[in-house]
Amino acid sequence: MSAGGNGAGTREKARLAVRSAGVADIPAIVALTERVYGVDHGYTVEMVTGQIAQFPQGTFVALYEGEVVGYCATFRIDEASAMAPHRWMQITGGGYGARHLTTGDWLYGMEVCVDPRWRGLRIGRRLYEQRKRLCQELGLKGIVFGGRLPGFGRRARRYADDAAAYVEDVRAGRARDRALSFQLRNGFEVIGVLPNYLPSDQESRGYAAHLVWRNPKIDPHAHTRGTARPLPESVRVATVQYQQRRVASFEEFATQVEYFVDIAADYRADFVVFPELFTLQLLSVENAPLSPVDSLLALTGYTERFAALLSELAVRHNINIIGGSHPTRITVGEDVQVRNICYVALRDGSLHTRDKLHPTPNERTWWGIGGGSTARAIMTDCGPIGVMICYDSEFPELGRHLVDQGAMILFVPFCTDTREGYLRVRYCSQARAVENQCYVVLSGNVGNLPGVNNFDIQYAQSCILTPCDFPFARDGVAADTTPNVEQVAFADLRLSDLTVARNDGTVQNLNDRRHDLYTLSWAKQRG
């Protein structure tokens, strides 16, 4: 018989558990940080995405009765950076965990927060123990971070604003601080005080205690080089240089799209990429003499069928599809807008949309297209990816924002009419590959449709670009196409080469950013 009369062999699930954080937890984590820090100071979806993507082993959630009530985020870092004076924004890469080094020999604790409603359950202690276990599993030297001093603010006058004196009194047991005293009881030692660590922390007057926990299983003088985060050995990408031709129906258009998806899948590609606005081909179905705005509105009528087509093809052909872009009518408040939206269909059956953020002057003037307001990386079975639609590639902030979220491949569907316009996109995309040490994949339209209203001339030379360093292709080009000819280009992209370049390359653009001088801050967006 089972105790409690619950029936033989039955067991109640644990009410409180700690596990690794995943993509599905991101909305709950964001909501938790808003409860803890306030709406204006909680993490954004993009920041948590970056924390998880950069170092998935190092993020944890605590769940009570299935609800996320605690969160812990860490990343690996080199000893010199960890032990030097620093600020939170600087050391964490703006809160994205973007300074994660796969070869770092210290674990940096960038965040532990617990829902105020459940602080009596020792959730914080459980999260700290999880950190220690991770540190020992990876064979790292220890854990380092800046610890808050919430008791200092109200006692600052007593200590003549000397935070070091306050920390020494807490360390010696002559004073008590609810955060620092907890850290000391958990085996952390103070190695200094960090001024201006987090200026917004008024309780601590911006100060933090510089704390370390040393892994007892490691020789403190040994140099540890852990393994990199799990990545596919190679990702095969196919970019379609798409020939515009007349079609008599949506079904004929769908047949052409499936042809290229099938080709890419036959060559075992992980991604196939189509150009921006390649659905303009559908204007030839009716070819009514409409104004530019009315033509665009007519295209929005195909949105549901187009999205369903991509989803069905992605699953059937077992491939991830970057579906160029398509004009889509959306409701913003009480207004109806048309956005230029990229549809990304993953082979697991999920469908994601990414708005073009920067409509060109012509898109705004002639077509009335509005710009989106969010830029989030997309988690795929080949790691996080980002999308920059054509003109978006000419704004370096966007590429950096996506890479901070963990993206290692950026996809650029484009639609340009002249060689000059094309080269703007290509040169800027090459710059994004160099400055972010990532791959950038371009896909454009070719061909013209004489007699079709509101369809201009096309110029494209689709390509797959790399950083410029020894592990990569000559000239930073993994694959290229012949200009203005329908073609599919393939390249195998080794994500591990990016890791090597970022941590041990001739130049290390991501690691060498001056976080002490500048930071990239995106406005917090909902939805």
**Mind telling me the catalytic residues?**
276, 356, 390
Contact 156, 48 (CB under 8 A): no
Tokens linked to 16: 């409180």
Tokens linked to 482: 């012949």
What is the number of other CB atoms lying within 10 angstroms of the CB of residue 429? 23
Please identify which residue in the block is written with the tokens 């050995």: 233
State the DSSP code for 160.
T
270/319 Cα distance (integer angstroms): 5
Tokens linked to 308: 């369903």
474/483 Cα distance (integer angstroms): 20
Phi, psi angle pair for 74, to nearest 5°: -140, 170
Per-residue CA distances from 96 to 20, 46, 214, 437 (Å): 17, 8, 25, 17
Tokens linked to 133: 């276990």
Contact 152, 173 (CB under 8 A): no
48/67 Cα distance (integer angstroms): 17
281/246 Cα distance (integer angstroms): 7
Report, in angstroms and rounded to the nearest whole number, the Rg of the chain calculated over CA atoms. 26
What SS3 string covers 316-333? HHCCEEEECCEEEEEEEC
State the greatest distance between any 2 C-alpha atoms of the chain, in Å, as a whole number: 86
Tokens linked to 445: 């339209």
Contact 339, 297 (CB under 8 A): no
DSSP for 149-202, please give it.
-TTHHHHTTTTTT-HHHHHHHHHHTSS--TTHHHHHHTT-EEEEEETTSSTT-G
CA 446 to chain CA centroid, Å, is: 31
Please identify which residue in the block is written with the tokens 């617990």: 114
State the DSSP code for 522.
P
Per-residue CA distances from 21 to 25, 229, 231, 413, 497 (Å): 6, 15, 18, 32, 26
Burial class (CB in 10 A: 0-12, 13-18, 19+), 231: middle
Per-residue CA distances from 98 to 56, 102, 214, 400 (Å): 12, 11, 24, 10
Q: 169-198: buried (b, 16+ CB within 10 Å) or exposed (e) per residue?
A: bbbeeebebebbeebbeeebebebbbeebb
State the DSSP code for 427.
H
Tokens linked to 25: 């937890």
Contact 443, 240 (CB under 8 A): yes
